[in-house]
Amino acid sequence: MSEAHSGEHHHETEPYAALRTKALESLLVEKGLVSSDAIDALVQAYEQDIGPLNGAKVVARAWVDPAYKQRLIVKGTEAIAELGFGGSQGAEIVVLENTPAVHNMVVCTLCSCYPWPVLGLPPTWYKSHAYRARAVIEPRAVLRELGLALDDSVEVRVWDSTADVRYMVLPRRPKGSEGLAEAELASLVSRDSMIGVAEAGPPSGVGQ
Ligand code: FE
| Ligand 1: centre distance to CA 89 (Å) | 14
Q: Which of 67, 113, 122 is nearest to 93 (CA)?
A: 113
- When pLDDT is averaged across residues 106-114 and rounded to a whole number, the result is 94
For ion ligand 1, residues whose CB falls within 5 Å: 108, 111, 113
What is the tally of structural domains in the chain?
A: 1
| Ligand 1: centre distance to CA 135 (Å) | 14
Is 203 inside a domain boundary? no
Nearest 5°: the CA angle 37, 84, 199 is: 85
| Ligand 1: centre distance to CA 127 (Å) | 9
Is 30 inside a domain boundary? no
Tens digits of residue pLDDT in 167-181 = 999 999 999 999 999
- Whether 8 has a pLDDT exceeding 90, the answer reads no
- The CATH number of residue 102's host domain is 3.90.330.10
Query: Which residues are the active-site residues?
Result: 108, 111-113
89: left (phi over 0), alpha (psi -120 to 50) or beta: left
State residue 16's pLDDT score.
74
Q: Which of 113, 108, 93 is nearest to 170 (CA)?
A: 93
